[in-house]
Amino acid sequence: MSENLKTGTTTIGIVNTEGVVLASEHRATMGNFIAHKEVQKVFKIDDNLGLTTAGLVGDAQMLARYIRAEVELYKLKRMAPMTVKAAATLLANLLRRGGGSQGFYYVGLIVGGFDREGGHVYSLDAAGGCISDNYVSVGSGSPFSYGVLEDHYKKDINLDESINLAIRSLNASMKRDSASGDGMAIITITKDGFVEVSADEIAKRASRMGINVPKP
């Protein structure tokens, strides 16, 4: 294949009273072809930071490695974890400078995490735009996710409710966006650190809501 695996995905970030939830599905596509069914799109950057990726897989993986290394260097120099805003700004500045396989990074990212000011999520575009919000969705399935997020999000949503909301939102995208599918990955970031929600737990929660989560 002369090109990296191309865009088509659904990623989600939700701020809650205890921190944030980051989520994605697992499908990678090239046009109408399903290239892979177990692609990692949620990356651990640090105990308090996570990243979701949409777009070219090669560009996304390189950026995840870069920001992870920068965060580690920051901790060594400052003896403190990087804030969510600082991590998002650093990555946005890199995107703005350009590079990647196309002369720019063909990606849409969400940086989320927990710091002394609480939980935060930022959406980043290929031009270096960096916007903070209470909830964001990036990727081809995002319009369907936003419909659910707009309807169900509330300012005082807790961690448990936001995990369920992520499942509902991903399910809406997986039903209508052919580039989204093959299971869900959901992680939480709170004062207790970066925690992956197990596939069994996702399936149990989905079942209680009458949702079937297809496996790869």
d(CA 211, CA 216): 16
Contact criterion met (CB below 8 Å) for 105 and 59: yes
Strand order in the sheet with 135-138: 135-138, 11-16, 19-25, 184-190, 193-197
Q: Which residue out of 7, 9, 29, 188 is catalytically annotated?
A: 9
d(CA 49, CA 99): 24
DSSP tag of 184:
E
9 belongs to the catalytic site: yes
d(CA 71, CA 73): 5
Question: Known catalytic residues?
Answer: 9
